[in-house]
Chain A
Amino acid sequence: MTRLETLKKLESKLECFIDRVVASEVGRIEALRQIDTLDDIARDSLRGRHINTRLGRWLAENNRGFVNERFDRDHKSRIGALFNEIRSGLDSADFESRKLVDEIDSWRDKGIVPKRKLVLKIKPEIRVRNIATHFQEFMSKESEYIEAEFKRSPHLLSILDDVLKSADAKSDPMFLHLAGSIVYYLKINGYKIGPYVKRLKQIEQSRAEKVDAS
């Protein structure tokens, strides 16, 4: 057998091996692909983008009837976590969004919930004592978010724009803090920050009004 023939035989064996492994993973690939799509929807939701159509399509494609066939326990808990992210950004005043919230809730009733469920039974004084740890975790979460954003866009101003949109749409205080932090960083580096400060103040005011109303 010539060297070329040996190499071609090796190529064919390797291709066959990879094909068989991938074929055995087809179900998992499809499940991961669906979770990846939902993850993209959740990321866009955090950036304040309109996601209702895509979310509606995802829910229809992954009809609850197929859930147990398509997703294992780990997948379901991931979907549950992503649903939590998405749900917090849906506008309950909007009819279409409310329908999606109801649909998400019905999935949760069927056991699509995040694995890590925090039961907060900590006494207030312990919480105060652990404020440094909370702050550290908070900064770490911000750092992870910023790292992911920089992979998408290297421009700090466009990231700030997205963060402000998220701060406006979400109740998570991280976005407000992160927006303030970026604005201050721009200020000490000589950037004009007037319009961003104005937006930030409007968001803060609107949040305060919502708290007062509730």
Chain B
Amino acid sequence: MLPEPEKAYLKALVALQNKNYAAASGYFKIAENLVADNAEIRILAEATDTILAVHDEIAETENVTRN
């Protein structure tokens, strides 16, 4: 059987294909062992978390500008 982290990594990639960054970030957390062991996957996971943080910042900045 495939280990859960590998199944989660696949789901993370599919979520990224669909630009669903929040779901991808969740799956990368389930695949934490793979993320820790593989530099390329780690960069992708960190880029995903960063883009989510940027989205939050944009929403906050737009909110402040509107008010």
Contacts of B13 in A (CB 8 A): 22, 25, 29, 32
How many A-B pairs have beta carbons closer than 8 Å: the answer is 60
B4 and A7 contacting across the interface, CB-CB below 8 Å? no
- Given A3-B61, A4-B58, 4 extra CB contacts under 8 A: A22-B17, A25-B13, A29-B13, A33-B14
Tell which of A7, A10, A21, A39 has the most Cβ of chain B within 10 Å: A7
Asked if A17 lies at the interface with its beta carbon under 8 angstroms from chain B, I say yes
Q: In the complex, which residue of chain B has the Cβ closest to the Cβ of A36? A: B10
Expressed in whole angstroms, the Cα–Cα distance for A116 and B26 within the complex equals 32
Q: A14-B47, A29-B10, A32-B10 are in contact. Are A42 and B1 (CB under 8 A)?
A: yes
Interface pairs A-B: 10 shortest CB-CB: A14-B51, A39-B2, A32-B10, A11-B54, A7-B58, A22-B16, A4-B61, A29-B13, A7-B57, A36-B10
B 1-13 to A, binary, CB cutoff 8 A, 1 in contact else 0? 1101011011001
Expressed in whole angstroms, the Cα–Cα distance for A119 and B17 within the complex equals 42
Contact partner, A17, options B4, B19, B47, Cβ 8 Å: B47
SS of A interface (majority):
helix
Expressed in whole angstroms, the Cα–Cα distance for A19 and B21 within the complex equals 11
Q: Of residues 11 to 69 in A, which have CB atoms within 8 Å of B's CB atoms?
A: 11, 14-15, 17-18, 21-22, 25, 29, 32-33, 35-36, 39, 42-43
B7 and A39 contacting across the interface, CB-CB below 8 Å? yes
A14 and B50 contacting across the interface, CB-CB below 8 Å? yes
Expressed in whole angstroms, the Cα–Cα distance for A85 and B2 within the complex equals 12
Contacts of A42 in B (CB 8 A): 1
A21 and B44 contacting across the interface, CB-CB below 8 Å? yes
Q: In the complex, which residue of chain B has the Cβ closest to the Cβ of A31? A: B10
A29 and B1 contacting across the interface, CB-CB below 8 Å? no
Asked if A199 lies at the interface with its beta carbon under 8 angstroms from chain B, I say no
Expressed in whole angstroms, the Cα–Cα distance for A36 and B65 within the complex equals 46
Asked if A177 lies at the interface with its beta carbon under 8 angstroms from chain B, I say no
Q: Of residues 17 to 57 in B, which have CB atoms within 8 Å of A's CB atoms?
A: 17, 19, 21, 44, 47-48, 50-51, 54-55, 57
A11 and B55 contacting across the interface, CB-CB below 8 Å? yes
Q: In the complex, which residue of chain B has the Cβ closest to the Cβ of A147? A: B4
Q: A11-B51, A15-B51, A29-B10 are in contact. Are A151 and B1 (CB under 8 A)?
A: no
Contacts of B62 in A (CB 8 A): 4
A7 and B17 contacting across the interface, CB-CB below 8 Å? no
